[in-house]
A and B are shown apart, each in its own frame.
Chain A
Amino acid sequence: GQQLNQSPQSMFIQEGEDVSMNCTSSSIFNTWLWYKQDPGEGPVLLIALYKAGELTSNGRLTAQFGITRKDSFLNISASIPSDVGIYFCAGQASGTYKYIFGTGTRLKVLA
């Protein structure tokens, strides 16, 4: 099925560092969501974006809805060990209620 491209696929960072990841699509989306998945669990919603250019924060997390509506970005500031997991973006196109999920970014934090 259709997927969004996320980068990087994986990253190792030191505790305290900032993290940036992005998601791109060939299609325009009306809504972007960012999820985090811990091992053995389902994805948990972190941030929802509804307008092009929108910048939204949730604690140390900040996400942006790209101006072109074909991309989105997630930043994590001052990473901590519990940030470890897989981060997924999801996009919703006009005229449909279903979301397409990205390929995921696997984050590992070194204490």
Chain B
Amino acid sequence: DAGVIQSPRHEVTEMGQEVTLRCKPISGHDYLFWYRQTMMRGLELLIYFNNNVPIDDSGMPEDRFSAKMPNASFSTLKIQPSEPRDSAVYFCASSFVDGGYTFGSGTRLTVV
């Protein structure tokens, strides 16, 4: 298995622009998670899905953030409009119901 695949690996964008991060989970995994990592706040859970349905989005910072999972093999995290404080590494992870998470390599987002 290729593991959890995230794209792009790096993204630099100007403030106000829309940013879309993509994730392909491991085939067969029931759960998908989006995390954000910063030096100040560590790893924060933004949202997670079970069988493509959003279960808990209480970690999503504000309305500028949205996430979708149209099918079992693809999810997106969108920021519109982006702000400099959104700069962070965004991780996608997936798992079976009774397993630990497998993380992707992350997307490093820089908003200038």
Interface bits A38-55 vs B (CB < 8 Å: 1, else 0): 001111110010000000
- Contact in complex: A41, B44 (CB < 8 Å): no
Q: Is B15 positioned at the interface, with any CB of A under 8 Å from its CB?
A: no
| Minimum distance in angstroms from B103 CB to a CB of chain A | 3
How many A-B pairs have beta carbons closer than 8 Å: the answer is 50
Query: Which A residues from 91 to 111 make CB contacts under 8 A with B?
Result: 96-104
Interface size class on chain B is 20 to 34
Number of interface residues of A (CB under 8 A): 22
Q: How far is the CA of A66 from the CA of B56 in the complex (A)?
A: 28
Query: Which B residues from 28 to 67 make CB contacts under 8 A with A?
Result: 31, 33, 35, 41-45, 48, 50, 55-56, 59
- Contact in complex: B105, A98 (CB < 8 Å): no
CB contact between A103 and one of B35, B42, B55 (< 8 Å): that residue: B42
Q: Is B101 positioned at the interface, with any CB of A under 8 Å from its CB?
A: yes
Given A1-B44, A101-B43, A104-B42, does the pair A41, B105 have CB atoms closer than 8 Å? yes
- Contact in complex: B103, A101 (CB < 8 Å): no
Please name all residues of chain A whose beta carbon is closer than 8 Å to the beta carbon of B48 when the two chains form the complex. Answer: 97-98
Residues of A within 8 A of B (CB): 1, 3, 33, 35, 40-45, 48, 88, 90, 96-104
